């Protein structure tokens, strides 16, 4: 059986502590080192590791520093951390050891930084390591073949051009279905599984250790066990399938769990996918998922279409966004309008924005009574783009500008829009202003006047000028009047003078 490329691996952890004597800092020479005893990793591969350290450094530069190195006896990928007890001094690294060698930090810490940390002349440094090693699989107990070694193999599985010799006695023990087959014949053809899968399944059931297996091998064994009703596999191995969850395997395992209706495993896959999408989203196994299946996985973890849609937008999972958007657009309601219109604007989803605009037009009276709508605002950076206003009703744009920029009146909104280059091809300013012409009050007069004169809005100038004449004494007492530009105040007085004299005539 050839060695698979997608090998299931595990991170095996270990640690040790070295003790530095304060006298070593001055008595040891540069290059004079120490070595911990070798530690054997709890794994059948025979990996050993140890630490070498140099109290005065392993070279002259830099001076007065401790050097620390992790050593291994064979090729392995490792992550490690050196940390000084009772301090923040530490060093972390990851390294793929190509052979027996060391890796570490030649200037781990200065003597000056370490001296205050010694207690009774000693200082502890903890060395924590993690090694990425193949996960080896074996059934327990693992001695079935030993009971048949004095016999000749007496049953053959024909798989493609290969032949797998094994024992009827063992197969009879595995399942009633296999017992029936071996009772009637001495060989059988297998067409639904490949040679490597069948060989691995039989070896596993016989108790042989399977080295360097891929998750595809495990799925194949599980499917073989299901087909032949082998409980050692269907009830034994299946409970371990979640051990093999990784960025590379989660989609493969999810498909298996879904096919076999194993809801527990499927939910674990969905949760793993949700929590690790930053890594998984570029994996080929993920990009090849159908939009329907990927959406179902995220919805299993996130519970609702809306949360799944929002999640997909955030992580730019466009194939899911495009799949969900039509149904989400049809679900706009008083309850979800605010978050949906925010998503539509923030992520430039024009179709959804149009639906939100239509819903607002039909339901604006009810929306305006809702607290979430009253406080609805946007990210200020969105306002800079200006194109976000496309396809949104005028009054909704005004409301969003007012709440986002914390403006006091609609006149402030109009002034902002006019002076910041908003291209209102679909907005008639006169139409916007029409309802405001009859709503000038002492509270909004200064904003109205500021907008009217800075943006040369003739109709509003007339309204403000007449209001100014009628309420001059009260207006002069407003604090806001002092904040109007001098040019506006001058024009107001001029307008007042002209209008007052005309009326006298």
Supply the mean pLDDT for the chain: 86
Mean pLDDT of 190-202: 92
150: its two tokens:
């004095």
Assign 103 a pLDDT band (cuts: 50, 70, 90): very high
Beta bridge partners of 72: 49
3-state secondary structure of 178: helix
Give the pLDDT confidence score for residue 457 in this predicted structure. Answer: 73
Residues in the chain: 505
Is pLDDT of 180 > 80?
A: yes
Task: Could you please state the CATH topology (level 3) that the domain comprising 9-134 is classified under.
Answer: 2.60.210
Q: Where in the chain is the domain with CATH 2.60.210.10?
A: 9-134
420: its two tokens:
């910041």
Q: Where in the chain is the domain with CATH 3.30.710.10?
A: 136-217
Assign 357 a pLDDT band (cuts: 50, 70, 90): very high
Q: What is the pTM of this model?
A: 0.62
Residues near 47 by beta carbon (within 8 Å), at least 6 away in sequence = 40, 41, 72, 73, 74, 76, 131, 133
Mean pLDDT of 108-121: 92
| 384: phi then psi, degrees, rounded to nearest 5 | -65, -30
Give the pLDDT confidence score for residue 142 in this predicted structure. Answer: 45
Is pLDDT of 430 > 60?
A: no
Is pLDDT of 139 > 60?
A: no
Range of 195-209, 312-326, 436-450 with top mean pLDDT: 312-326
With 0-12 CB in 10 A as exposed, 13-18 as middle and 19+ as buried, what is 34? middle
pLDDT tens-digit series, residues 200-254: 999 888 877 777 678 888 899 999 999 999 988 888 888 778 778 888 899 999 9
In contact, 84 and 123? CB cutoff 8 Å: yes
Give the pLDDT confidence score for residue 74 in this predicted structure. Answer: 93
| CATH class belonging to 136-217 | alpha beta
| 465: phi then psi, degrees, rounded to nearest 5 | -60, -45
Assign 504 a pLDDT band (cuts: 50, 70, 90): very low
Is pLDDT of 428 > 60?
A: no
Mean pLDDT of 322-338: 96
388: its two tokens:
């976000």
Percent residues over pLDDT 70 in the chain: 91
Residue 387 DSSP code: G
């Amino acid at each position: 059986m050839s060695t698979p490329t997608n090998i299931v691996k595990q991170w095996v952890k270990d640690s040790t502590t070295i003790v530095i004597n304060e006298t070593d800092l001055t008595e040891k020479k540069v290059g004079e080192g120490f070595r911990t005893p070798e530690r054997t990793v709890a794994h059948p591969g025979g990996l050993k590791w140890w630490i070498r350290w140099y109290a005065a450094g392993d070279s002259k530069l830099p001076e007065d520093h401790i050097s620390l190195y992790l050593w291994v006896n064979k090729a392995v990928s490792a992550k490690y951390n050196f940390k000084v007890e009772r301090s923040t001094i530490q060093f972390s690294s990851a390294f793929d050891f190509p052979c027996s060698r060391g890796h570490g930090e030649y200037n781990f810490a200065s003597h000056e930084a370490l001296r205050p940390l010694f207690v009774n002349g000693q200082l502890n440094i903890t060395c924590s390591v993690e090694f990425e090693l193949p996960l080896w699989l074996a059934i327990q107990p693992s001695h079935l073949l030993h009971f048949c070694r004095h016999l000749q193999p007496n049953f053959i599985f024909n798989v493609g051009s290969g032949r797998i010799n094994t024992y009827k006695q063992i197969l009879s023990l595995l399942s009633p279905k296999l017992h029936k087959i071996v009772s009637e014949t001495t060989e059988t053809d297998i067409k639904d599984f490949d040679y490597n899968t069948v060989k691995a399944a039989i070896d596993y059931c016989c108790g042989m250790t399977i080295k360097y297996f891929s998750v595809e091998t495990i799925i194949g064994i599980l499917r073989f066990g299901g087909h032949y009703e082998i409980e050692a596999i269907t009830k034994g191995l299946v409970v371990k399938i979640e051990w093999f969850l990784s960025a590379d395997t989660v989609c493969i395992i999810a498909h298996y769990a879904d096919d076999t209706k194993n809801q527990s495993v499927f939910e674990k896959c969905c949760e793993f996918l949700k929590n690790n999408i930053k890594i998984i989203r570029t994996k080929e196994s993920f990009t090849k998922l159908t939009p329907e299946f990927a959406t179902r996985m995220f919805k299993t973890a996130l519970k609702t279409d809306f949360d799944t849609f929002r999640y997909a937008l955030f992580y730019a999972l466009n194939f899911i966004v495009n799949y969900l958007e039509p149904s989400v657009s049809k679900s706009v309601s008083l309850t979800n309008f605010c978050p949906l219109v925010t998503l539509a604007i923030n992520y430039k989803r024009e179709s959804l924005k149009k639906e939100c605009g239509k819903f607002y037009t039909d339901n604006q009276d009810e929306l305006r009574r809702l607290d979430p709508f009253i406080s609805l605002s946007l990210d200020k950076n969105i306002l800079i783009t200006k194109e976000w206003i496309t396809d949104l009703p005028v009054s909704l744009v005004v409301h969003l500008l007012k709440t986002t920029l914390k403006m006091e009146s609609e006149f402030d909104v109009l002034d902002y829009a006019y002076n910041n280059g908003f291209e209102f091809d679909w907005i008639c300013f006169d139409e916007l202003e029409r309802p405001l012409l009859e709503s000038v009050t002492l509270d909004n007069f200064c904003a109205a006047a500021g907008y009217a004169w800075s943006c040369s809005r003739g109709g509003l100038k007339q309204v403000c000028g007449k209001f100014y004449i009628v309420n001059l004494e009260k207006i002069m007492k407003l604090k806001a009047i002092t904040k109007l530009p001098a040019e506006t105040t001058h024009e107001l007085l001029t307008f007042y003078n002209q209008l007052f004299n005309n009326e006298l005539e």
